[in-house]
Amino acid sequence: MKTRKARLFACAALAVAGLCGAGPLAGEAAASQHQIVFFDATNLLLNGRTRASTFRTLQHEGVSALRVLLYWQAISPYSHSKRLPRGLKLTEPGSYNFVPYLQILQKAKKLGWKVLLTPTGPAPRWATAGHRGYLYAPSAKLFEDFVTAAAKALGPYVDYWGIWNEPNEVFELQPQWKGNGAPASPGIYRALYLAAYRGLQAAGISRPDILFGELSPYGASSVNPRREGTMHSMAPLTFLRAALCLNGSYRPVGRCAPLPVSGIAIHPYPMGASPLYVPPNPDQVTLASLGRLERAINLAVRAHRLSAHVPIYITEYGINTKPNPAGVSPQQQAQEVAFSEMLAWENGWVASFAQYELRDDAIPRHLPRGYTGFQTGLEYANGRPKALYYSYPVPLVVTRSGRGYRLWGYIRPAHRATSATVLIQRSPHARFTVLARVHAGPLGYFTLRSSVSGVAWKLRWVSPAGLRYEGVPVGVSP
């Protein structure tokens, strides 16, 4: 587990009244390790017509790490058939269409970005039990072959491997529950995970950085099949315990060796609530309830089901805007995304944060009324920028601290030590004026304490190339 980030605030004497310290600039909060921030724009990057413009936008936004979903079915031969022709070598890259992924990952490598690649479903029909659709009990052996081929083709460009997207979600992996109400998906996933690990090793990656889970935050802890059926997602901690062969009290069940795990990945969306939302079900995990997952990891280590304490990777996250029924205003989205990133940064268990997605999902007319997909993007579905587009490169969070304020910020596109300007609006109709010049060190972060009262703040930064970044105004966060 990475060392806990120190929460030290180096304040500097400034010309603006109310700032503390001794020096010309406000200091960066000391952090023992840089928090990776993954950006997921998989679908736009896979589209050859939008790939170049998407990369340009991501560069402008200061992105330095990608999460990319590797869809098994989409690039496999005869993926809609129940049977495969004989003679195909499924461990060889030539049996699949890796071309668009190579183009994405080679570009990311050229830019110096880290990459998390997640081989995931849907599976080819020929790889599922009884050939029942594309999600039903995928073959671990065939998945191992696929991951072997993927690692041979893409391995030189990949830093982290995630295994399956949200395997506790009923629309990602089936069955979730057996007919008697016992968990089904954790056993399927455990087999897939171990198969993927063997596949990576078969391709020559002896000690891969591999993430367990990429778990959805919600779901049921148990089901009554007679009353409600089995088509329900599973709560992440219920899933984790079963996949690690632990009972509800985290005591070992059966004989299971510790899993080779570099991190536990979670998608801790608040889903329409505040980033501080803690769900009443103790087996569900949101950003504000990551302590539940931390405790689960500790207990799994104590039970010898994990070989070591491992960090938590947030590999997907976002705040929805309208017209999503759970959405907030674009202004509030920008403020809550920044606040969420700060919460993750302050948590010493967390090794990565994430933004999903760049552009909102379009709303197809043929889908059920009320369906909107994800509206968590920096842009609307038509490509028009939201407030988050402007604030994402220069997030700023203001919270109360005693009789004053604490400001936390990040100069995302800088990638080196730099200085920026914090602006303040002291009353509702006043103009923004300079509060302070702040210094962000090599990691890009800074903190500042101020006793100057205001109603809104924003961050301005000018790049060495002369590009001006200015976030939207933010108020005081909870």
Judged against a pLDDT cut of 80, whether residue 113 lies above it is answered with yes
State mean pLDDT over 120-146.
Answer: 96
Tell me: the pLDDT tens digits for 417-443? 999 999 999 999 999 999 999 999 999
For residue 278, what are the CA distances in angstroms to 126, 326, 380? Answer: 41, 16, 28
Do 468 and 460 form a contact (C-beta atoms < 8 A)?
Answer: yes
Least confident of 256-260, 335-339, 367-371: 367-371
According to DSSP, the β-strands at 418-425 and 350-356 are: unpaired
pTM assigned to the model: 0.93
Q: Where are the alpha helices (DSSP H) in 351-419?
A: 387-391
Judged against a pLDDT cut of 50, whether residue 445 lies above it is answered with yes
State mean pLDDT over 268-288.
Answer: 94
Integer Cα distance of 383 and 299 in angstroms:
45
Judged against a pLDDT cut of 70, whether residue 61 lies above it is answered with yes
Q: Which residues of 237-246 are buried (b: 16+ CB within 10 A; e: fewer)?
A: bbbbbbbbbb
Q: What is the pLDDT of residue 246?
A: 98
Amino acid identity of residue 446, one-letter, is F
Do 165 and 116 form a contact (C-beta atoms < 8 A)?
Answer: no
Judged against a pLDDT cut of 70, whether residue 23 lies above it is answered with no
Domains of the chain in start order, with CATH, are 1-33+394-478 (2.60.40), 36-392 (3.20.20.80)
Long-range contact pairs involving 248-254 (C-beta distance under 8 Å, separation at least 24): 250/296, 250/299, 250/300, 250/302, 250/303, 251/303, 252/303, 252/304, 252/305
Half-sphere exposure of 316 (CA within 13 A, CB side): 26
Q: What is the pLDDT of residue 369?
A: 64
